[in-house]
Each structure stands twice: as structure tokens, then as C-alpha cells.
Chains A and B, each alone.
Chain A
Amino acid sequence: MICWREWDGEIVVYYDLTGNTHLLNSLAGLVLRRLAESGAARSVAELTESIGPSVAIEPDIAQIEAVEAVLTDLERFGLAARGTA
């Protein structure tokens, strides 16, 4: 079970399986939120599209790559899991 709170675009997350608490930047928070809202598996492309222009991503990094980096990080801490398509 993941618990979270958000203040001004930054999110703190507690994951009871690991007992770890994380501070996420706005993009990571948004990605995690989109994953949670959908309740089902989403592809990276779908996720990126759903986030859209709501978060500023540095123009020289492709949006999908940025979301990928977020997902890799979230996976590292057990907050998201890669499934088979």
C-alpha cells in the first residue's frame, strides 16, 4: 500500500512493504499519480501522453525518455513494476 501527500507539486510517498519514504519531484509525482488513477497497466507512451504539457520537461530531453527515467527510478524503489505487454 502506497500512501502519499502532495504540497505544491512535490510529493512524499510511503510504501509500507519497504517501509521507505520518498520525496518525489513533480514529474515523478505526476507519473505515480497517473499510474494510480488508471489502476491498470499503462504503456510508457500512454503515460507520457496523459501527462501532456502539464509539467515542464527540459526541451532537449524527449518527453518519453524523461518518463522512462522516472519509471526506472520508481521501479528501483518498488513503487512501480514492469509488466509484460
Chain B
Amino acid sequence: MALRTGAFVNVIQSAIPAVSEAIALLYSNHPLVESGGFADFHVSVRAATGVRRWLRRQVLFEFDGARPFKPLPFPQAFPMLEWGLNWCVSNHCNNLLVFHAAVIAHENRALILAAPPGYGKSTLCAALVNCGWRLLSDELTLIDPASGNVLPLARPVSLKNASIGVIRSFAPDAPLSRIVTDTVKGSVAHMRPPVGSVQRANEPAKPHWIVFPRFQSGAPTTLSPYAKARAFMQLADNAFNYNVHGKRGFETVADLVSSSGCYEFSYGNLNEAVSVFDTLAKSAP
């Protein structure tokens, strides 16, 4: 099947029922594309052959017929597809600057959430997109150096461990995939992106805020300005391909930082966090 996710067309082949089931749930709003046409990524997820097929079933990810990864246990087939699609984008889009960060938007002003794993970025992202913010991406922020705009992906939001339960309570109507346990990240599940986000996946957004969040249980909710020069270094350090772009990469990140309000954000309560972001959204341009 050929699915469009923002700027990319993905041809996905898999005979594994759990994968088809997850795609049917999480990509139900994504436009299908005529097969046989141009595609950016040809991927497949299939059971590994050989003795292991019966002893301990494993699953393989293939990209353009090559296998860039070691096999994973069979139950991880769908997460492997998602991770593999992330890999496709982060490794093959050197015309764009790709950052490891979530990005959402309010009235086409983009807010980039950059933080290491475990800092609560995905939980925050999932909550905010259930409160009116548009999802551009939960994992990969794509910047077009020519325009400085963020290009959306609007793929399922990846949640892990405790954040699965948190989002289930916060947004009980948001469709969630089955939970897959014992992955290297712990338990993972994926949330379907809001239909509005998918419908607008071809609309870029202009960067306006850069936030470095950190969840800490019991912490007071505080949003404070963050030095732009340090925001620059943090962002560049979190880019997959900053070095590939050379001077243009430097200029793009500098422009991004210059045109955005830079903040660090600490929170212990998700509702309070959402409320702070609502206030930010209503602030003067």
C-alpha cells in the first residue's frame, strides 16, 4: 500500500496481521496514493526466515530491498515499521535539516519541543495535539533551509511506558494501538494523529517558539527564557544532519533561533502544562 505522510510517499509491504491492523487503525485518515507511482520510501516488514522463524520468531525491516537493521522479536513488528520509517526520513532527507524534536503548531506558528528521551516531550506533544494544537511530528522536525519553514509528517505519536497510561487518562477517546512490551525502550504504543493534523499535512508552519521541556514529578510548572546561543547549540547538537549542510546549516539554525522565543519548561502536572502552552499560544505574535 502507498501512504502519503506530509511530503513523503511510503510504499509499505507487510503480510503480518499486527502490522496491517495497526496501519488500519493509525493511518485511517492518511491519504492513499496510487500504487505504481513515484514513492520516496519502499519498505517492508516481514517475518525472518530460517531456523529462528520457528524457535523464536523474528521480524525484519527492509528498505529498498536492503536490511539496515538487525531483526527484532516478532511482536515488535509495528513499532519496527515506525522506527524504520523514522530512519528513512532522518537518513535520507539531506536537502532538509532534520532535528530530533517534536513539533506542533497553533495557527501556523510552530512550536518545537526538543529534549532527550525520558524528559516528557512525547507525552506533552500527545496531550497538546489533543487540545487543539496541530501535530507536525512527534519525533522528527524537518526544516526547509530555503524557506525556514517546518514541513509536517503527521504520523502516529509514539508513547512509552508510563506516558501510555497518562495519555489514556488525559485523552480517553484518542485511538491507541496495542501496547508492545519488552522493547529496548520498554513498553511502547502509538496514538493516531488527529484528523485535522493529517488533513493539513501539506501545510508548512513558521517556527515561532523553541521549548526545552522537562518532566519531573512534583515539580512546579515553570516556563523561563533560555539563552538563544545555548538554544542554538542544543538544537544543532540534536540535528541528525547539521554537519552535512555546512555553513547553510549554521545559518538555518541561527535564523530559526533568532525568529523564535526560546524557553526551558519544567512541569510535573500535565494539565497545568497544557494551560501554560495555551497562554503562550494566545500571546502576541
User: CB within 8 Å of B: which residues of A?
Assistant: 1, 3, 5-8, 10-12, 14, 16, 19, 21, 23
The answer, among A3, A7, A14, A19, for a CB contact under 8 Å with B229, is A7
B247–A12 contact, CB under 8 A?
no
Residues from chain B with a CB closer than 8 A to the CB of A14 are 247, 250
Residue B182 CB within 8 A of the other chain: no
Classify the interface of chain B: helix, strand, loop or mixed. Answer: helix
A10–B227 contact, CB under 8 A?
yes
User: Shortest 10 CB-CB distances between A and B: which pairs?
Assistant: A10-B229, A7-B228, A14-B250, A5-B254, A12-B232, A23-B233, A7-B229, A12-B229, A16-B247, A3-B250
Residues from chain A with a CB closer than 8 A to the CB of B242 are 21
Complex: A85 Cα to B229 Cα, angstroms: 35
B246–A16 contact, CB under 8 A?
yes
Residues from chain A with a CB closer than 8 A to the CB of B250 are 3, 12, 14, 21
Q: Mark B233-262, 1 if CB is under 8 A from A, else 0.
A: 100100000110011001100100110000
Number of residues in B with C-beta < 8 Å to the partner?
Answer: 16
Complex: A21 Cα to B235 Cα, angstroms: 12
Q: Mark B90-125, 1 if CB is under 8 A from A, else 0.
A: 000000000000000000000000000000000000
Chain A's closest residue to B254 (CB) is: A5
Given known A12-B233, A23-B233, contact A3–B247 (CB-CB < 8 A): yes
Complex: A21 Cα to B233 Cα, angstroms: 8
A23–B246 contact, CB under 8 A?
no
The answer, among B229, B236, B251, B258, for a CB contact under 8 Å with A11, is B229
B258–A5 contact, CB under 8 A?
yes
Given known A3-B251, A5-B258, contact A21–B229 (CB-CB < 8 A): no
Residues from chain A with a CB closer than 8 A to the CB of B227 are 7-8, 10
Complex: A7 Cα to B254 Cα, angstroms: 10
Complex: A23 Cα to B237 Cα, angstroms: 12
Residues from chain B with a CB closer than 8 A to the CB of A7 are 227-229, 232, 257-258
